[in-house]
Amino acid sequence: MILHMGKIKIVKNYKSKLDIYDTQKAIELVKRHFEYYLKESLNLKRVTAPLFVDPNSGLNDNLNGYEKPVSFTIPSIKCDGEIVHSLAKWKRVALLKYNFKVHNGLYTDMNAIRRDEELDNLHSIYVDQWDWELIINNKDRNINYLKNIVKKIHACILDTNNALKKRYPKLTCKLSKDVLFITSEKLLKMYPKLNSKEREYQIAKKYKSVFIMNIGCKLSNGSKHDNRAPDYDDWSLNGDLIYYNELLDVAFEISSMGIRVNKDSLLKQLKESKCQDRKNLEYHKMLINNKLPLTIGGGIGQSRLCMLLMQKAHIGEVQCSLWDKKDIELLKKHNIKLL
């Protein structure tokens, strides 16, 4: 039974299957195994990534467009730094700078602060994910190529889950072998009376593992399934990988990914989003002048993956962050111990 306490969900009679000590060991296992499977499956090399960027570079991820990045002044160089929201655009520049070749790519540990997140069981202001990016050919810019990459990532998650359950048999997370692929428009047709989050819940509960495609573009009802920045994913070639979280009875997003914009899709999406002023930023100039490689990439939540596979009721059980004091006391009363 799920109890709703404001934005917090309480699982009645919840007790973590792992104590705090074993939780730390399990986090290490999940991260070590998944990272290995991911780099081998997608032919990736690990690189070092920035925690902050120059706000004038255009490299920061604008997410939904309203989130304000954390910024600070650097007196010694007389400029500002901006904590990254994600590395969606930085990775593409790095692939060029580091001289990566076609069908080779990079991955990194991305740590971010998203100060505008509304905190609940799944959301924290601290974000940790594997950011990855792979160089592709123009002929790879199609739905089938995207689906193939999604299947590989899903297989990495399945392998990681098997390794975790072998080490900790008390864990019983079940994931479907296959992923359902569905466009956001088709999902709207299936559930026309529901909002986008309700549609995600229904399709995830029914099929357990789904990849919802075409995020960011307008649907036939005039709305968007979800907002997406106009300058990294091609909205016709992207999507979100979502699992059904049985413990919390929610649609549980693990990854957002997509084939990145080329010159044509960038200009089209900037115009549609009324963000044409971004064309003057350094990153966007490089894209428009075809100086950047064609790529596919995404982010995979580290704490999210640990939370799902370890059957935790709150993301604070697998990461350290800041929380409302009232929520901390509430969670403590219901056997949810935050790190």
> What are the structural domain ranges in the chain?
2-333
Q: Which of 256, 302, 311, 319 is catalytic?
A: 256
Q: Where are the alpha helices (DSSP H) in the chain?
A: 20-42, 90-97, 143-167, 184-190, 196-207, 263-272, 282-288, 302-309, 325-333
pLDDT at 59 over 80: no
Catalytic entry in 231, 240, 317, 327: 240
Q: Which of 236-250, 254-268, 274-288 has the lowest mean pLDDT?
A: 274-288
pLDDT at 311: 96
The pLDDT of residue 64 is above 80: no
Which entry of 82, 86, 92, 114 is annotated as an active-site residue? 114
Q: Residue 339 above 70 pLDDT?
A: yes
How far apart are alpha carbons 293 and 286 in whole angstroms? Answer: 10
From the candidates 133, 253, 317, 327, give the one annotated as an active-site residue: 253
Which of 143, 170, 108 is closest to 300 using CA atoms? 108
Residue with token string 């007196």: 75
pLDDT digits (tens, 9 = 90+) for 24-56: 999 999 999 999 999 999 999 999 988 887 777
Choice among 64-68, 130-134, 298-302, 335-339 with the minimum mean pLDDT: 64-68
Statement: residue 272 has pLDDT above 60 = yes
Burial of 311 (0-12, 13-18, 19+ CB in 10 A): buried
* Cα distances (angstroms) measured from residue 286 to each of 15, 259, 264, 266: 52, 17, 13, 12
Q: Annotated catalytic, 234?
A: no
* Residue 65 pLDDT exceeds 60: no
Lowest mean pLDDT among 57-61, 249-253, 317-321: 57-61
Is 202 catalytic? The answer is: no
Active site residue 114: yes
Element (H, E) at 10: strand 8-11
Residue 76 pLDDT grade (very low, low, confident, very high; cuts 50, 70, 90): confident
The verdict on whether 129 is a catalytic residue reads yes
CATH number of 2-333: 3.30.930.10
Residue 240 annotated among the catalytic residues of the structure: yes
Please tell me whether residue 130 adopts helix, strand or coil conformation. strand
Instruction: Name the active-site residue from 35, 61, 233, 327.
Output: 61
The one catalytic residue among 82, 86, 124, 129:
129
Instruction: State what percent of residues in the chain have pLDDT above 90.
Output: 67
- Checking if the pLDDT of 231 tops 80, the result is yes
